[in-house]
Amino acid sequence: MATGTDIRTYHDGRWHEGDVAVIRASDHGAWLGTTVFDGARYAHGLTPDLDKHCARTNASARALMIEPTVEAGEMVEIVREGLKAYPKDAAVYIRPMYWALDGGPLGILPEQGPTGFAIALEAIPMAPPEAATTLGRTRFRRPVMEDAVVNAKAGCLYPNNARMIAEARARGFGNALVADALGHVAESASSNVFIVKDGEVFTPVPNGTFLAGITRARHIANLRADGVRVHETVMSFEDVIDADEVFLSGNMHKVTPVTAFEETSYQIGPVTRRLREMYWDWAASAG
Protein backbone atom coordinates (compact mmCIF):
# COMPACT_ATOMS: atom_id res chain seq x y z
CA MET A 1 0.00 0.00 0.00
CA ALA A 2 1.37 3.39 -0.99
CA THR A 3 1.95 6.25 1.44
CA GLY A 4 1.01 9.05 -0.95
CA THR A 5 -1.24 9.70 -3.95
CA ASP A 6 -0.81 10.62 -7.62
CA ILE A 7 2.00 8.09 -8.02
CA ARG A 8 4.34 7.76 -11.00
CA THR A 9 6.92 4.96 -11.38
CA TYR A 10 10.10 4.89 -13.44
CA HIS A 11 11.10 1.34 -14.42
CA ASP A 12 12.58 -0.38 -17.45
CA GLY A 13 13.75 2.91 -18.93
CA ARG A 14 10.49 4.86 -18.91
CA TRP A 15 7.90 6.54 -16.72
CA HIS A 16 4.62 4.74 -15.95
CA GLU A 17 1.45 6.19 -14.48
CA GLY A 18 0.56 4.69 -11.12
CA ASP A 19 2.18 2.34 -8.61
CA VAL A 20 3.31 -0.39 -10.99
CA ALA A 21 4.77 -3.75 -9.94
CA VAL A 22 8.56 -3.79 -10.39
CA ILE A 23 9.92 -6.66 -8.28
CA ARG A 24 9.50 -10.43 -8.71
CA ALA A 25 9.03 -13.08 -6.03
CA SER A 26 12.40 -14.68 -6.83
CA ASP A 27 14.39 -11.45 -6.93
CA HIS A 28 17.11 -11.46 -4.29
CA GLY A 29 15.74 -8.19 -2.91
CA ALA A 30 12.28 -9.67 -2.38
CA TRP A 31 13.30 -12.73 -0.40
CA LEU A 32 16.63 -11.74 1.16
CA GLY A 33 16.14 -8.02 1.71
CA THR A 34 18.84 -6.53 -0.51
CA THR A 35 17.01 -3.27 -1.16
CA VAL A 36 18.20 0.32 -0.81
CA PHE A 37 16.47 3.61 -1.36
CA ASP A 38 16.76 7.31 -0.75
CA GLY A 39 14.27 10.10 -0.29
CA ALA A 40 14.30 13.58 -1.75
CA ARG A 41 11.63 16.25 -1.93
CA TYR A 42 9.96 18.46 -4.51
CA ALA A 43 8.21 21.42 -2.83
CA HIS A 44 7.68 25.10 -3.63
CA GLY A 45 8.94 24.25 -7.13
CA LEU A 46 12.33 23.21 -5.69
CA THR A 47 14.27 19.94 -5.31
CA PRO A 48 16.78 20.71 -2.52
CA ASP A 49 19.95 18.57 -2.56
CA LEU A 50 18.47 16.17 -5.11
CA ASP A 51 21.94 15.44 -6.48
CA LYS A 52 23.18 14.42 -3.03
CA HIS A 53 20.22 12.09 -2.47
CA CYS A 54 20.80 10.42 -5.83
CA ALA A 55 24.51 10.02 -5.10
CA ARG A 56 23.71 8.47 -1.71
CA THR A 57 21.39 5.97 -3.41
CA ASN A 58 24.39 4.66 -5.32
CA ALA A 59 26.59 4.67 -2.22
CA SER A 60 23.95 2.67 -0.33
CA ALA A 61 23.77 0.14 -3.16
CA ARG A 62 27.51 -0.42 -3.00
CA ALA A 63 27.33 -0.89 0.78
CA LEU A 64 24.87 -3.75 0.20
CA MET A 65 27.11 -5.19 -2.56
CA ILE A 66 24.65 -4.17 -5.27
CA GLU A 67 26.21 -2.63 -8.35
CA PRO A 68 24.50 0.71 -9.15
CA THR A 69 23.59 1.05 -12.81
CA VAL A 70 22.45 4.69 -13.07
CA GLU A 71 24.86 7.58 -12.53
CA ALA A 72 23.68 10.19 -10.04
CA GLY A 73 23.51 12.92 -12.66
CA GLU A 74 21.38 10.75 -14.94
CA MET A 75 19.13 9.92 -11.99
CA VAL A 76 18.58 13.63 -11.36
CA GLU A 77 17.52 14.15 -14.98
CA ILE A 78 15.12 11.19 -14.84
CA VAL A 79 13.51 12.63 -11.70
CA ARG A 80 13.18 16.08 -13.24
CA GLU A 81 11.46 14.55 -16.28
CA GLY A 82 9.01 12.68 -14.06
CA LEU A 83 8.20 15.78 -12.02
CA LYS A 84 6.97 17.61 -15.13
CA ALA A 85 3.68 15.74 -14.73
CA TYR A 86 2.98 17.47 -11.38
CA PRO A 87 1.76 21.03 -10.76
CA LYS A 88 4.42 23.48 -9.64
CA ASP A 89 2.74 23.85 -6.23
CA ALA A 90 2.71 20.08 -5.61
CA ALA A 91 4.68 18.46 -2.78
CA VAL A 92 6.23 15.22 -4.00
CA TYR A 93 8.29 12.54 -2.28
CA ILE A 94 11.07 11.28 -4.57
CA ARG A 95 12.30 7.75 -3.91
CA PRO A 96 15.01 6.17 -6.11
CA MET A 97 15.77 2.55 -5.23
CA TYR A 98 17.81 -0.51 -6.16
CA TRP A 99 17.46 -4.19 -5.36
CA ALA A 100 19.53 -7.26 -6.16
CA LEU A 101 18.07 -9.63 -8.74
CA ASP A 102 20.09 -12.83 -8.49
CA GLY A 103 21.85 -14.71 -5.71
CA GLY A 104 25.50 -15.68 -5.84
CA PRO A 105 27.43 -18.03 -3.51
CA LEU A 106 25.07 -19.93 -1.17
CA GLY A 107 22.25 -17.89 -2.64
CA ILE A 108 22.85 -15.24 0.02
CA LEU A 109 25.58 -13.10 -1.49
CA PRO A 110 24.08 -10.95 -4.28
CA GLU A 111 25.27 -11.87 -7.75
CA GLN A 112 27.27 -9.09 -9.35
CA GLY A 113 25.36 -8.36 -12.51
CA PRO A 114 21.94 -7.01 -13.48
CA THR A 115 20.32 -4.84 -10.81
CA GLY A 116 16.74 -3.78 -10.28
CA PHE A 117 16.19 -0.02 -10.37
CA ALA A 118 13.11 2.14 -10.02
CA ILE A 119 12.05 5.62 -8.95
CA ALA A 120 8.74 6.29 -7.25
CA LEU A 121 7.16 9.75 -7.14
CA GLU A 122 4.30 10.23 -4.66
CA ALA A 123 2.35 13.36 -3.82
CA ILE A 124 2.75 13.78 -0.04
CA PRO A 125 2.01 17.19 1.53
CA MET A 126 4.65 19.00 3.57
CA ALA A 127 3.68 19.23 7.22
CA PRO A 128 2.57 22.70 8.39
CA PRO A 129 5.06 24.60 10.62
CA GLU A 130 3.08 23.94 13.81
CA ALA A 131 2.84 20.19 13.21
CA ALA A 132 4.89 18.70 16.03
CA THR A 133 5.57 15.28 17.52
CA THR A 134 6.39 13.78 20.89
CA LEU A 135 9.16 11.32 21.78
CA GLY A 136 9.27 8.34 24.10
CA ARG A 137 11.98 5.91 25.07
CA THR A 138 12.43 2.50 23.48
CA ARG A 139 14.40 -0.54 24.58
CA PHE A 140 15.51 -1.15 20.98
CA ARG A 141 18.80 0.40 19.88
CA ARG A 142 20.64 1.36 16.74
CA PRO A 143 23.00 -1.40 15.54
CA VAL A 144 26.70 -0.99 14.84
CA MET A 145 28.59 -1.76 11.63
CA GLU A 146 29.54 -5.22 12.88
CA ASP A 147 25.82 -6.06 13.23
CA ALA A 148 24.16 -4.42 10.24
CA VAL A 149 24.77 -2.28 7.13
CA VAL A 150 24.32 0.99 9.01
CA ASN A 151 26.30 2.85 6.31
CA ALA A 152 23.41 2.39 3.86
CA LYS A 153 19.82 3.57 3.63
CA ALA A 154 18.72 -0.04 3.40
CA GLY A 155 15.25 -1.49 3.64
CA CYS A 156 16.49 -4.31 5.88
CA LEU A 157 17.22 -1.81 8.67
CA TYR A 158 13.67 -0.52 8.93
CA PRO A 159 11.93 -3.41 10.77
CA ASN A 160 14.08 -2.42 13.77
CA ASN A 161 12.91 1.20 13.40
CA ALA A 162 9.33 -0.03 13.06
CA ARG A 163 9.41 -1.83 16.40
CA MET A 164 10.89 1.30 18.02
CA ILE A 165 7.97 3.35 16.72
CA ALA A 166 5.41 0.69 17.67
CA GLU A 167 6.74 0.57 21.24
CA ALA A 168 6.70 4.37 21.60
CA ARG A 169 3.27 4.78 20.05
CA ALA A 170 1.84 2.08 22.30
CA ARG A 171 2.82 4.37 25.19
CA GLY A 172 1.15 7.40 23.62
CA PHE A 173 4.13 9.08 21.92
CA GLY A 174 4.49 9.96 18.26
CA ASN A 175 8.04 8.66 17.77
CA ALA A 176 10.92 7.08 19.66
CA LEU A 177 14.18 8.63 20.83
CA VAL A 178 16.75 5.92 20.26
CA ALA A 179 20.06 5.05 21.91
CA ASP A 180 23.20 3.74 20.26
CA ALA A 181 24.97 0.60 21.49
CA LEU A 182 26.58 2.53 24.37
CA GLY A 183 23.33 4.11 25.56
CA HIS A 184 23.94 7.60 24.17
CA VAL A 185 21.30 9.42 22.12
CA ALA A 186 21.57 8.48 18.44
CA GLU A 187 18.45 9.75 16.64
CA SER A 188 14.71 9.27 16.54
CA ALA A 189 13.27 6.18 14.87
CA SER A 190 12.81 8.13 11.64
CA SER A 191 15.04 11.23 11.69
CA ASN A 192 18.09 12.92 13.11
CA VAL A 193 17.62 14.87 16.34
CA PHE A 194 18.79 18.30 17.53
CA ILE A 195 18.40 20.16 20.81
CA VAL A 196 18.78 23.85 21.64
CA LYS A 197 20.25 25.02 24.94
CA ASP A 198 20.97 28.66 25.78
CA GLY A 199 20.84 29.62 22.10
CA GLU A 200 23.35 26.96 20.98
CA VAL A 201 22.48 23.81 19.02
CA PHE A 202 23.61 20.27 19.80
CA THR A 203 23.23 17.05 17.80
CA PRO A 204 24.70 13.55 18.23
CA VAL A 205 28.11 13.15 16.62
CA PRO A 206 28.07 10.57 13.80
CA ASN A 207 29.53 7.40 15.29
CA GLY A 208 28.71 4.75 12.71
CA THR A 209 25.36 3.71 14.20
CA PHE A 210 23.07 6.06 12.25
CA LEU A 211 23.06 7.92 8.95
CA ALA A 212 24.06 11.54 9.37
CA GLY A 213 21.42 12.88 7.02
CA ILE A 214 21.76 15.19 4.05
CA THR A 215 19.13 17.53 5.49
CA ARG A 216 20.92 17.37 8.85
CA ALA A 217 24.13 18.57 7.21
CA ARG A 218 22.27 21.35 5.43
CA HIS A 219 20.74 22.56 8.70
CA ILE A 220 24.14 22.60 10.39
CA ALA A 221 25.62 24.64 7.53
CA ASN A 222 22.70 27.09 7.53
CA LEU A 223 22.79 27.56 11.29
CA ARG A 224 26.53 28.22 11.32
CA ALA A 225 26.19 30.66 8.42
CA ASP A 226 23.60 32.48 10.53
CA GLY A 227 26.04 32.77 13.44
CA VAL A 228 24.61 29.98 15.59
CA ARG A 229 27.08 27.70 17.38
CA VAL A 230 26.42 24.05 16.50
CA HIS A 231 28.04 21.18 18.40
CA GLU A 232 28.25 17.61 17.12
CA THR A 233 28.85 15.75 20.35
CA VAL A 234 28.04 12.77 22.55
CA MET A 235 24.58 13.37 24.01
CA SER A 236 22.71 11.81 26.91
CA PHE A 237 18.98 11.54 27.45
CA GLU A 238 19.44 13.95 30.35
CA ASP A 239 20.71 16.52 27.82
CA VAL A 240 17.43 16.20 25.96
CA ILE A 241 15.40 16.55 29.15
CA ASP A 242 17.34 19.73 30.00
CA ALA A 243 16.93 21.28 26.52
CA ASP A 244 15.11 24.52 25.72
CA GLU A 245 13.99 23.27 22.29
CA VAL A 246 14.03 19.90 20.54
CA PHE A 247 13.44 19.23 16.85
CA LEU A 248 13.88 16.45 14.32
CA SER A 249 15.55 16.77 10.94
CA GLY A 250 14.55 14.60 8.01
CA ASN A 251 13.87 14.79 4.33
CA MET A 252 10.13 14.17 4.56
CA HIS A 253 9.27 17.37 6.45
CA LYS A 254 12.72 19.01 6.87
CA VAL A 255 12.05 20.33 10.41
CA THR A 256 9.67 18.69 12.89
CA PRO A 257 9.30 20.40 16.29
CA VAL A 258 9.19 18.17 19.36
CA THR A 259 6.83 19.24 22.13
CA ALA A 260 7.55 16.47 24.65
CA PHE A 261 10.08 13.80 25.57
CA GLU A 262 8.53 11.46 28.11
CA GLU A 263 7.30 13.75 30.95
CA THR A 264 9.23 16.84 29.79
CA SER A 265 7.40 19.42 27.64
CA TYR A 266 8.83 22.02 25.25
CA GLN A 267 7.58 25.03 23.34
CA ILE A 268 8.22 25.39 19.62
CA GLY A 269 11.06 27.85 20.01
CA PRO A 270 12.69 30.60 17.96
CA VAL A 271 15.62 28.51 16.70
CA THR A 272 13.30 25.80 15.39
CA ARG A 273 11.13 28.37 13.62
CA ARG A 274 14.12 30.24 12.21
CA LEU A 275 15.71 27.04 10.94
CA ARG A 276 12.69 26.23 8.77
CA GLU A 277 12.83 29.71 7.24
CA MET A 278 16.56 29.41 6.61
CA TYR A 279 16.17 26.04 4.91
CA TRP A 280 13.68 27.22 2.31
CA ASP A 281 15.53 30.53 1.85
CA TRP A 282 18.65 28.51 1.11
CA ALA A 283 16.74 26.17 -1.23
CA ALA A 284 15.35 29.11 -3.21
CA SER A 285 18.77 30.74 -3.50
CA ALA A 286 20.34 27.45 -4.63
CA GLY A 287 17.68 27.00 -7.29
Enumerate the domain spans of the chain. 5-123, 133-286
How sure is the predictor about 105, in pLDDT bands with cuts at 50, 70 and 90?
confident
Judging by beta carbons within 10 Å of its beta carbon (0-12, 13-18, 19+), is residue 2 exposed, middle or buried?
A: exposed
Burial letters 124-157, b for 16+ CB under 10 A, else e: beebeeeebbbbbbbebbbbeeeeebbebbbbbb
How sure is the predictor about 2, in pLDDT bands with cuts at 50, 70 and 90?
low
Considering the four listed CATH numbers 3.90.180.10, 3.30.470.10, 3.40.50.720, 3.30.565.60, the one that applies to the domain covering 5-123 is 3.30.470.10
Backbone angles phi, psi at 263, to 5 degrees: -85, -5
Q: What is the mean pLDDT of residues 254-283?
A: 97
Q: How far is CA 191 from CA 76, 90, 212, 280, in A?
A: 23, 23, 9, 19
Q: What is the mean pLDDT of residues 234-257?
A: 97
Residue 182 pLDDT: 95
Instruction: Give the span between the Cα atoms of 191 and 177, in whole angstroms.
Output: 10
* Longest CA span, the chain: 56
Question: Over 70: is that where the pLDDT of 1 sits?
Answer: no
Question: Over 70: is that where the pLDDT of 264 sits?
Answer: yes
Judge: domain 133-286, CATH 3.20.20.210: no
Length of the chain: 287
pTM for the predicted model, two decimal places: 0.94
Question: Over 50: is that where the pLDDT of 103 sits?
Answer: yes
Q: What is the mean pLDDT of residues 9-31?
A: 96
> pLDDT of 149-199, one tens digit each?
999 999 999 999 999 999 999 999 999 999 999 999 999 999 999 999 999
Q: Indicate if 133-286 has the same CATH topology as 5-123.
A: no
